[in-house]
Every structure is written in C-alpha cells, then in structure tokens.
Amino acid sequence: MTQLISRRSMLSGAIKAGAGLAIWNLAPSLTALTPAGSVWGLRVGLLPRSARGASIDAKRFRAALERLDEFIAAHLRDVGAPGMTLALATRAGLLRASTYGFTDRKAGAKVQPNTLFEIGSISKSFVALSLMQMREEGKFDPSQPITTYLPWLKIDSKYAPITGHHLLSHTSGLPDGVPFELIGLDQALWTGFAPGEHFAYSNIGYDLLGRVLEAIDRQPLAAVLRRRVLDPLGMTSSEPVITNAIRPRMAIGYAPMFDDRPFPLRGTLAEAAWVEFGEGAGSVSSTATDMGKYLTMLLNRGAVRDTSPTIMEGSKRDRIVSEETFKLISAPAIKAPFWGEDASYGYGLWTSETEGRMLLRHTGGMVAFSSAIHVDLTSGIGAFASVNANLAGYRPNVVVKYALDLLRATIDGKTLPAAPSTTTTPDKIPNAADFGGTFTSADGSKLVLSADRSRLWLAVGSQRVALESAGPNRFFVKHPDFELFLLEFGRDHDKVVEAFHGARWFTNDRYAGQKTFEDPKEWDAYAGHYRNDSPWFGSTRIFVRKGKLTAEGTPLTPLGDGVFRAGAEEWSPERISFGPVVDGRATRMKFSGIEFYRTFTT
C-alpha cells in the first residue's frame, strides 16, 4: 500500500518511485553467484513430519530448492533488497520456510525465522475471508448497501448505493484513498463511476470493510482477524495490526533515501519511518512459517489441514470458509490485469486461468515492505515472499513465480527451468538509436543525445552521461541537473519526436504537431512543489506542460469549481484541488482528501 494516494501510485509512486517497474519486475541473470547462505545468511526451516504432513517429501525438492536459493541470492543483490522471508507449501502443509539477508544492515543482523514482515495488501484476503465467514453466519450480505452496516458513512454520489460486493471487488468507484484517521470521518467520500462498471483499486474500500468487521462482531479489527483467521490456522507468530508493541519483532524496513525523485535500480536506501497501521487494507504482519499455514489453507480451498498443537484451543475449526464460499471468493468478479497479465479480481485476491491452471495471487506494499503471494490451485503448490524494503514499485513476483515453476517441474518430473534472466546493466538499451539526435525547447535549450551500439548518452556540458532504462521511452539521468525527473520521450507513428523533463518540453525535426499552447492564467498559481509529511505520501510537483496542468506529467482534467480529475481515465475517482492562493501562489493542494502544503524547494 505504499503511496496510498496513487491508485497504484499516481503521484510519488508511478510518476517517481514506480518509474523502474520495467526493471524491478524482472530477474537478473545468474552470473558470479555467491553460494547460498554465505553472504545472505540463508536459514531454512522444515516442520516436523507430524506437523507438515506425511505426504511431503522434502528430499524430492532438494535440487529445486538449491536452484531457488541461488536465484534469490543473486536477485536480492541485483535489486538491492536487504532481506527476504519465503514460504513454500503444498496441500499437505508447509514445505519450507526460509529467510535471507539482513533485518538490520547497520548492525549486520540477519533475518531470523521469527522475524515479522508486513504483508501489506495481502491482508485484504484476510478481511474478505472474515466477512465471508460472517456471510455464512447470516450476519453479512455482500449485496446490501455498505451503509446498512456503517450508517454513519457519508458518500456524495449520483449513482446506486455501494455494496459490500463492490468494495470486496474494487468496483465501488471510490478513490484509492487513505486511512480515515488522516482524512477524518466527517468528510464525505465520492465516486468516479457507477458501482460495478470498472475496476479501480481502492484501499479506502477495504478500510471500510475492516470497519464492517468491527461493527458486526463488536470487537476491534485485531480481535476479529485473530479469532477468525489467525488462531484457527495456528498463525500464533503473526500479528493482525501493526503497533509499537510488536516493533522489536519486526524487520527494520528500508525505503528510498529521497522521496522527491525517481528511484533507480540499486538506488540508495535509508531506514524508513516506523508507522503504526490498523486498517483493513493492509494491517497484517507475519513470518514465513505462519504464511505457509495460510498458503496451505488456500490450497485446500478454505479447509484447515494443520492439526498441530499451535492452533489455539477454542478456535479449532475444520474450515475457515466452506468450499461453496471459497468458490465465491475466488470467482472472477471483474476483469483486472495482474501486473500486466490477463486476470480478474475476486474478493481480496486476483484470480486467473493460465495454461490450464487456476491461480490466486496478490501483492502488498507498505512504507518499507514489499510482498507477493501466488497459489496454484491446480498443481497444489503455493509461495509467499516478502522483502523489508520499499523498492519503488517492486514486488517479489518473480521470486514466487520461479519458485512455483521449480516445484511444478519437480512434481511433473520435468527438467528444472532456468532462472528468469535480464540484464543487470540498465544502461544497455537495445533500441538506443531510436532516441539519438537533437531536441530543442521553445527557449532554445537543447538536448543532444547520441547512441553507441546499445548505450544512449546525453551531453551535459562537457560530460556524456549514460542513460538507464526506467521502462519504455523513459530513462534515469544520473546527473544533478536531471535527478528530479525522468527523461521521457514521445513518439509519432513509432518515431521519437519529442522529449520531456519535468515541465520542459523539447522537439526534434520530425515533430509535426502543435508547438504553442494556451492555458488559464490561474494555473500559474498552482504550479509548485507540494509535500505531506506522512511517509505514505512524500511529495509531488505540479507544473504546466503543453498547455495542460499535470502532476509530474500526469494530466489533470478540470472539472469545474477548482477541482481536477487526476488520471487518464474519464472515470478516475481521484481528485485534486488547490488553495488558498496567497501572493499568486497556492499554499495547499488536496489530493483525494489529503492535504499537501507548498514547500520552499523547487
């Protein structure tokens, strides 16, 4: 959930921090590997035979697990992550719990089996399961308006009422949002589209569902999740909410040192601010062993297979939810791509059929943690991984996917697949020649780029600076004059014709479009650098480019009365407004209910 203001990171996230997604979501090539366990402190835990199930033959998977350890060691070095916790499971139970790297880089302390990692939005499935238990008890009906359970909730909308189903499936039309503690219960929410029409990921929707749990059970969220999910599964090391009391058990989390600029591959990390969190959108923290128990339950479609004595007395149950209810949770509710792949969203989980296999997946991002869970219901295997860092859009999807590929190959008696590979040198750009040439701005400033085989260079004074890929047509420029924004390029009929760096716009001799633009004079007052001191949000810069007011290049569409829609979709529920204006400058910016103040830095 890091950068909650961003509907998968509109401002600080996708524009700045998430710029490296194309790099982060790939794995490195395996060269010059360090033996697993030497540098990264590999620790492996297998449950006793009685606890993990008699049908698990760990020796059978030895070759696969050794290859996975080698890959993870290289992967952590490549992305610059401090440490990782990993759980692998089959329907019979936990196959393996392992930890890698450091929980505290400064002290050299390594991740331990009992170290807690925040799982972020994977917590949403815990909330969904608890609510569907209540449905089985006749206490919750997902087809009812959410105000049935939260009569105090204010929503300004011209559309039909929002139901529990809409919140569970991210089809409510509400903004992505933030915890109510930050925007206040007295503020009315709003919708961008009729409920059910579109998928728009909404953290505030799951925060509301957490409050529904509290209203129905008349207990705090922590007690509800513990009684309904954690205790029945024997997840006794896990915590339902993040409080100061559990901080000594939590891995130290890391985040980009600078929150106001793009974060490149292997960028500089610093210890992140500690944040308590108790909202339904992402409050759970756990260990690898406990997440193995959660994986096992999902693989058994809601059934509790673990009969170990760690399950709390008085909370034992054969199922978390019935098989019928599990089908409802995992059924596609609406089309929703999962990290670029074809998928749908159910209740608290992405669901898809890939190559004849039914997959359940989710990711989670917090201020200083990044997690992923993948469950192959068809093959009966699952994997969970979490790293103690916010690496600007990164999630360990490649790790859990490769883990499942290795386990599946072992089960099927096939040759183990090679590790996913990508270049570990982001300055190698296969289509570098596309961007070569001179680009000129209206004031005569020039960008001179040259391509040399697979490298792209920018002339800065007497220097040549190698550009590093940040995704299609986007580049990091590691020079003080360019560090606040990515250098981005626009195409016309697949030919590069323009370049952007912040508010600056450059064109080459192939550009044939409009070159002068007019914009309302009052927009000049809105341009500037705005900050919120919460570590969830950081800062963003507003500027006018090509006649459009933008949030770091993302267009803002005027809706009237000083309100702008943020995002390219006409139905986006995200809203930005400015004011009051003093001496020709807006002193505040409000993004979907959150106040930002104008800072003195540019």
Q: Could you say which DSSP state residue 40 is in?
A: S
Spell out the domain ranges in the chain.
31-115+243-276+287-338+370-412, 128-217, 432-507, 523-598
Contact 87, 93 (CB under 8 A): no
Cα–Cα nearest to 375, from 407, 412, 341: 407
Considering Cα of 136, then 142, then 143, then 144, what sign does the dihedral take? Answer: positive
Q: What is the pLDDT of residue 40?
A: 43
481 burial via Cβ count (<10 Å: 0-12, 13-18, 19+): exposed
Distance CA 170, CA 162 (A): 11
Distance CA 598, CA 585 (A): 9
Helices (H), 439-494: none
Q: What is the pLDDT of residue 181?
A: 63
Distance CA 238, CA 297 (A): 15
Q: What is the pLDDT of residue 54?
A: 37
Distance CA 598, CA 587 (A): 5
The secondary structure of 148-171 as a DSSP string is GT-TT--EE-SSSPPBHHHHHTT-
Helix H or strand E segment including 411: helix 397-412
Residue type, 36: A
Q: What is the pLDDT of residue 19?
A: 33
Helix, strand, or coil here: 435?
helix
Residue 161's contacts (CB-CB under 8 Å, 6 or more residues apart) are 145, 146, 147, 195
Residue ranges of the chain with pLDDT lower than 70?
A: 1-56, 178-185, 306-316, 422-424
Distance CA 526, CA 545 (A): 13
Q: What are 253-280's pLDDT values in tens digits?
A: 999 999 999 999 889 999 999 999 999 9
Distance CA 160, CA 145 (A): 9
Distance, first Cα to last Cα, the chain: 27
CB atoms within 10 A of CB 452: 12
Distance CA 526, CA 220 (A): 41
Q: What are 357-375's pLDDT values in tens digits?
A: 999 999 999 999 999 999 9
Helix, strand, or coil here: 133?
helix
Q: What is the pLDDT of residue 30?
A: 26
Interhelix angle 397-412/62-79, nearest 10 degrees: 160
Q: What is the pLDDT of residue 511?
A: 97
Distance CA 279, CA 183 (A): 13
Q: What is the pLDDT of residue 21?
A: 27
Q: What is the pLDDT of residue 472?
A: 94
Q: What is the pLDDT of residue 417?
A: 97
Helices (H), 285-362: 288-299, 323-330
For 430, phi then psi, to 5°, come to -55, -40
Residue type, 599: T
The secondary structure of 512-528 as a DSSP string is -S-------TTHHHH-E
Q: Is 453 left (phi over 0), alpha (psi -120 to 50) or beta?
A: left
Q: Which segments of 297-367 are extended strands (E)?
A: 334-335, 344-345, 350-354, 357-365
Spell 207-245 as b/e; 16+ CB within 10 A means b: bbbbbbbbebbeeebbebbbbbbbbbbbbebbbbbbeee
Contact 238, 287 (CB under 8 A): yes
Helix, strand, or coil here: 68?
helix
Cα–Cα nearest to 322, from 302, 345, 352: 302
What is the pTM (predicted TM-score) of this model?
0.90
